[in-house]
């Protein structure tokens, strides 16, 4: 049986060139980047080279890039750090109902500590518009946190326009760019962003490493205390091999981003067109055009997303479902719920996220598997 991976928004395989770049930093060049001797300086040089690559990709200054453990830590850092640093000035934060849990749960922690949080409703495509943000601002607002691209439905938000409103009003703006970093152009000089989260394992780099971009002059408290690592912004001995791998993954993204974006967009269109030709009762969730190149979130009427996911897995196809079944609740995802979809679209949803390994043949195979499974499940469903 062939195995086809179509869950690249969850994670990606480490690129072989990335692995090769990392290997010397485990046994041979194993120094602590804070040590003064040559072993340490070798590690330091590698960390700084990776920082240069990351900064270059997003047109930032190297001093604005802080390495840490990944997207979750970056989101926690941005929100808690600004909350703590600016609490004398205000206690209001604006975010959206469809952020990643790393943002939502951090906001909930702040709510328990005297902050008030506005959770914006997206439009039916999962987009947050600048006017929605502008209307929610109060004199106590200190931070707006709106993601660049949504991890479940792939919708891309008009980040620069949201940022120009926050800039004008003197409010800090954080964006969770974990899903867009390395896939969409990001320009920190021109996008009015103060804080940005990104993660290595979504772009064919290793897990457990990421960055927070902290724009010059941004007031933020530290999240992790200890040594003076990372310009005194994130304590803890640097994950040198991980950072080197992340840097290499970024370098590759910079070279392939345009072509890969075009190829994945075409593959996604092919998938959606063919699927509509081969069955009825299938719907696209998220924005029809303003979406991540490889991301396709679909609802199949009359089918449970979890049953579909498991049946696909038995045919070797890896996708992801929108329900929070793992929590035992079998509730629809908070993202789809916020789109106010009809119940059958909420429960029969599936996310396919295409990546470098996927081909048209993979999609043909997935479509024939989907056709067979959906027909079988619909025939078994009590409503049909
Ligand atoms: N934010 C978004 C939008 C994500 O998709 C993810 C991971 O799925 C995260 C944050 C968390 O990133 P990490 O896995 O690096 O902690």
CA of 103 to the centre of ligand 1 (A): 10
Among the listed residues 181, 381, 140, 200, the one whose alpha carbon sits nearest the alpha carbon of residue 292: 181
CA of 211 to the centre of ligand 1 (A): 12
The C-alpha atoms of residue 166 and residue 173 are separated, in whole angstroms, by 6
Share of the chain above pLDDT 90, in %: 92
Among the listed residues 315, 325, 350, the one whose alpha carbon sits nearest the alpha carbon of residue 336: 350
CA of 342 to the centre of ligand 1 (A): 27
Which one of the listed residues 27, 107, 253, 325 is annotated catalytic?
Answer: 325
Pair 213, 159: CB distance under 8 Å: no
Radius of gyration (C-alpha) of the chain in whole angstroms: 21
- Which pLDDT belongs to residue 332? 81
Q: Is 91 in the pocket of ligand 1 (CB under 6 A)?
A: no
Q: Whose CA is nearest to atom 4 of ligand 1?
A: 178
Among the listed residues 250, 260, 306, the one whose alpha carbon sits nearest the alpha carbon of residue 58: 250
Q: Is 299 in the pocket of ligand 1 (CB under 6 A)?
A: no
Mean pLDDT in residue range 274-283? 96
Lowest mean pLDDT among 17-26, 52-61, 319-328: 319-328
Mean pLDDT in residue range 225-248? 97
Mean pLDDT in residue range 239-251? 98
Mean pLDDT in residue range 186-197? 97
- Which pLDDT belongs to residue 329? 57
CA of 348 to the centre of ligand 1 (A): 23
Mean pLDDT in residue range 188-210? 97
Containing H/E element for 5? strand 4-5
CATH code of the region 4-12+257-380: 3.90.1150.10
Lowest mean pLDDT among 39-48, 220-229, 248-257, 317-326: 317-326
Q: How far is CA 105 from CA 49, 75, 95, 101, in A?
A: 34, 10, 11, 6
| Domain residue ranges in the chain | 4-12+257-380, 16-252
CA of 71 to the centre of ligand 1 (A): 5
Say whether domain 16-252 belongs to CATH 3.40.640.10: yes
Mean pLDDT in residue range 43-52? 98
Mutate to test the pocket of ligand 1, among 12, 154, 195, 199 (most ligand atoms within 8 A of CB): 199
Q: Is 178 in the pocket of ligand 1 (CB under 6 A)?
A: yes
Q: Is 92 in the pocket of ligand 1 (CB under 6 A)?
A: no
Q: Which residues pair with 291 in a beta bridge?
A: 155
Q: Whose CA is nearest to atom 9 of ligand 1?
A: 71
The C-alpha atoms of residue 261 and residue 132 are separated, in whole angstroms, by 29
Shortest-distance atom of ligand 1 to CA 99: 3
The tens digit of pLDDT for each residue in 300-322 reads 999 988 999 999 999 999 999 86
Pair 206, 200: CB distance under 8 Å: yes
Mean pLDDT in residue range 254-281? 98
The tens digit of pLDDT for each residue in 50-77 reads 999 999 999 999 999 999 999 999 999 9
Q: Is 22 in the pocket of ligand 1 (CB under 6 A)?
A: no
Shortest-distance atom of ligand 1 to CA 208: 15
The tens digit of pLDDT for each residue in 175-188 reads 999 999 999 999 99
State phi, psi for 93 to the nearest 5 degrees: -125, 140
Q: Whose CA is nearest to atom 8 of ligand 1?
A: 10
Tokens in use for 337?
Answer: 């719920």
CA angle 94, 96, 102 (to 5 degrees): 95
Question: pLDDT tier at 384 (50, 70, 90 boundaries)?
Answer: very low
Q: Which residues pair with 23 in a beta bridge?
A: none
Question: pLDDT tier at 325 (50, 70, 90 boundaries)?
Answer: very low
The C-alpha atoms of residue 285 and residue 359 are separated, in whole angstroms, by 22
Q: Considering the chain, what is the average pLDDT of its residues? A: 95
Q: Is 33 in the pocket of ligand 1 (CB under 6 A)?
A: no
Mean pLDDT in residue range 113-138? 98
Q: Is 100 in the pocket of ligand 1 (CB under 6 A)?
A: yes
Q: Is 99 in the pocket of ligand 1 (CB under 6 A)?
A: no
To the query of whether residue 325 is one of the catalytic residues in this protein, the response is yes
Residue 369 three-state SS = helix
Among the listed residues 176, 48, 34, 164, the one whose alpha carbon sits nearest the alpha carbon of residue 101: 176
- Which pLDDT belongs to residue 331? 75
Pair 205, 214: CB distance under 8 Å: no
- Which pLDDT belongs to residue 181? 98
Mean pLDDT in residue range 157-183? 98
> Residue 118: pLDDT above 50?
yes
Question: pLDDT tier at 347 (50, 70, 90 boundaries)?
Answer: confident
- Burial (CB count within 10 angstroms: exposed 0-12, middle 13-18, buried 19+), residue 306: middle
């Amino acid at each position: 049986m062939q195995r086809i991976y179509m869950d690249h928004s969850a994670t990606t395989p480490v690129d072989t060139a990335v692995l090769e770049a990392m290997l010397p930093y485990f046994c041979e060049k194993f120094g602590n980047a804070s040590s003064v001797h040559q072993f340490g300086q070798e590690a330091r040089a590698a960390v700084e080279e990776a920082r240069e690559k990351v900064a270059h990709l997003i047109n930032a200054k190297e001093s604005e890039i802080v390495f840490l453990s990944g997207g979750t830590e970056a989101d926690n850092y941005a929100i808690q750090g600004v909350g703590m640093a600016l609490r004398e000035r205000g206690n209001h934060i604006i975010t959206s109902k469809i952020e990643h849990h790393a943002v939502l749960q951090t906001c909930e922690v702040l709510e328990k500590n005297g902050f008030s949080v506005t959770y914006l409703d997206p439009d039916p495509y999962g987009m947050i518009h600048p006017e929605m943000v502008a209307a929610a601002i109060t004199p106590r607002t200190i931070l707006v946190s709106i993601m660049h691209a949504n991890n479940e439905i792939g919708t891309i938000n008009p980040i620069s326009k949201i940022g120009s409103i926050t800039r004008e009003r003197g409010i800090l703006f954080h964006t969770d760019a974990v899903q867009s970093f390395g896939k969409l152009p990001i320009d920190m000089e021109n996008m009015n962003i103060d804080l940005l989260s990104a993660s290595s394992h979504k772009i064919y780099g290793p897990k457990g490493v990421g960055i927070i971009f902290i724009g010059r002059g941004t007031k933020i408290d530290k999240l992790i205390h200890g040594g003076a690592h990372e310009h005194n912004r994130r304590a803890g001995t640097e994950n040198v091999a991980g950072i080197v791998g992340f840097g290499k993954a970024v370098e590759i993204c910079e070279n392939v981003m345009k072509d890969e974006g075009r190829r994945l967009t075409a593959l996604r269109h092919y998938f959606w067109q063919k699927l509509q030709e081969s069955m009825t009762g299938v719907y696209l969730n998220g924005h029809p055009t303003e979406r991540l190149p490889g991301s396709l979130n679909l609802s199949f009427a009359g089918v449970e997303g979890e049953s579909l996911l498991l049946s696909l897995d038995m045919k070797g196809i890896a996708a992801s479902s929108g329900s929070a079944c793992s929590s035992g609740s079998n509730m629809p995802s908070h993202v789809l719920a916020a789109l106010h979809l009809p119940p059958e679209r909420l429960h029969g949803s599936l996310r396919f996220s295409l990546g470098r390994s996927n081909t048209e043949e993979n999609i043909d195979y997935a479509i024939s598997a989907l056709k067979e499974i959906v027909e079988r499940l619909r025939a078994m469903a009590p409503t049909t």
